């Protein structure tokens, strides 16, 4: 019997990639929930337009096909203003609690996956793993930490996925890598120079690798409570810029200063390697190249 798998926030980068992966697996009946009222539909996927703030509408969705697995990706990004940040927290807490309660009403054994962020760690540099200390530093991290605690108490078949930076051709244009590509294509070299001066380092992965790891975690029969998904490597964004410049023959003499070591956070992915034999096939440079080719 096929399992009903629901993806909330299904039209974001990870939702699109995960849909592509699960579509190839006949074990699952794929259901995508998105706040967008207009979107491209695909065969073999049931689409629902919902912002998750209405518990009755969620129950109506689940009434036809009870949820066996939920991948909860949906969340709104916070505003820079305090008022906007408070609204962000309230909205996402309400939405998350609604889908948790509704799923339990239809299936006490539901498997629930919450997508968390590396921003929750107390440390801002060095190596972190699943057991590293967490700290609330903003409305964004408060939502992530509070909901992880809430869901872990409500659902026994629960996995907290802690994600580091990951990009692909499906990445929203407001994020760093698509912005860099846009600046390079439009020859906005002053904007590129400002990014170079910031000397940004980070733990970056290709989103397809991260999403395939999530697929294998969902398939796994092992009990996984918390897991870090990362590259376990440090990449300089300046190196990505210079790679794109050379690859696509963009002529401009950026001053390539010697990289100065800065404090950065790296995710220890040793546990995921043991659990599912995680072996990334791509990297951030390939992601940047793919974004350039499709944008």
User: 184 and 192 in contact (C-beta within 8 Å)?
Assistant: yes
- Helix, strand, or coil (residue 98): helix
Same-domain check for residues 159 and 177: no
Q: pLDDT value at position 258?
A: 60
Q: pLDDT value at position 151?
A: 98
Same-domain check for residues 242 and 113: no
- 283 lies in some domain: yes
- Helix, strand, or coil (residue 226): strand
- 227 lies in some domain: no
Q: pLDDT value at position 111?
A: 97
Query: Which of 103, 135, 163 is the last residue before a domain boundary?
Result: 163
* Count of domains observed in the chain: 2
Same-domain check for residues 143 and 177: no
Q: CA-CA distance, 287 to 128, in Å (whole number)?
A: 24
Strand 204-206 relative to strand 165-167: parallel, antiparallel, unpaired?
parallel
Query: Which of 111, 140, 163 is the last residue before a domain boundary?
Result: 163
Q: CA-CA distance, 182 to 188, in Å (whole number)?
A: 8
- 87 lies in some domain: yes
- 272 lies in some domain: no
- 77 lies in some domain: yes
Q: Which of 216, 204, 207, 225 lies closest to 161, judged by CA?
A: 225
Same-domain check for residues 139 and 157: yes
Same-domain check for residues 8 and 111: yes
Same-domain check for residues 92 and 157: yes
Same-domain check for residues 187 and 145: no
Question: Which tokens is 149 given?
Answer: 């605690």
Q: pLDDT value at position 283?
A: 97
Same-domain check for residues 37 and 158: yes
The domain spanning residue 72 has which CATH number?
Answer: 3.40.50.720
Whole-model pTM: value is: 0.94
The number of helix segments (H) and strand segments (E) in the chain equals: 10, 13
Same-domain check for residues 10 and 124: yes
Range of the domain at 68: 3-163
Task: Print burial letters for 186-215: b (CB count within 10 Å at least 16), e (below 16).
Answer: eeeeeebeebbeeebbbbbbbbbbbbbbbb
Per-residue pLDDT of the chain (295 residues; tens, 9 = 90+): 899 999 999 889 999 999 999 999 999 999 999 886 555 567 889 999 888 988 899 999 999 899 999 999 998 765 444 455 667 788 899 999 999 999 999 999 999 999 999 999 999 999 999 999 999 998 889 999 999 999 999 999 999 999 999 999 999 998 999 999 999 999 999 999 999 999 899 999 999 999 999 999 999 988 899 999 999 999 999 999 999 999 999 998 887 666 666 678 999 999 999 999 999 999 999 999 999 999 8
Same-domain check for residues 16 and 137: yes
């Amino acid at each position: 019997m096929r399992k009903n798998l629901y993806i909330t926030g299904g039209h974001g980068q990870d939702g699109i990639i995960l849909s592509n992966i699960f579509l190839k697996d006949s074990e699952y009946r794929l259901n995508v929930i998105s706040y967008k009222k207009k979107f491209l539909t695909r065969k073999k996927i049931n689409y629902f337009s919902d912002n998750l703030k209405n518990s009755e509408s969620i129950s109506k969705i689940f009434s036809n096909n009870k949820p066996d697995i939920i991948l909860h990706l949906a969340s709104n990004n916070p505003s820079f203003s305090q008022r906007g940040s408070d609204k962000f927290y309230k909205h996402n807490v309400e939405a998350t609690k609604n889908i948790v309660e509704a799923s339990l009403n239809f299936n006490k054994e539901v498997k629930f996956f919450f997508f968390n962020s590396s921003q929750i760690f107390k440390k801002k540099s060095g190596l972190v793993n699943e057991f590293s200390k967490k700290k609330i530093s903003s409305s964004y991290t408060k939502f992530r930490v509070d909901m992880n605690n809430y869901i872990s108490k409500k659902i026994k078949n629960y996995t907290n996925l802690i994600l580091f930076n990951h990009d692909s051709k499906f990445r929203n244009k407001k994020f760093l890598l698509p912005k860099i590509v846009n600046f390079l294509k439009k020859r906005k070299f002053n904007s590129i120079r400002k990014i170079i001066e910031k000397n940004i380092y980070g733990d970056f992965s290709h989103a397809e690798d991260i999403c395939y790891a999530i697929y294998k975690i969902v398939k796994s029969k092992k009990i996984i409570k918390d897991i870090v998904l990362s590259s376990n490597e440090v990449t300089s964004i300046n190196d990505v810029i210079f790679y794109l410049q050379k690859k696509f023959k963009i002529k401009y003499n950026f001053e390539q200063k010697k990289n100065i070591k800065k404090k950065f956070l790296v995710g220890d992915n040793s546990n995921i390697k043991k659990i599912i034999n995680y072996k990334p096939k791509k990297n951030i440079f390939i992601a940047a190249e793919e974004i350039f080719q499709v944008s």
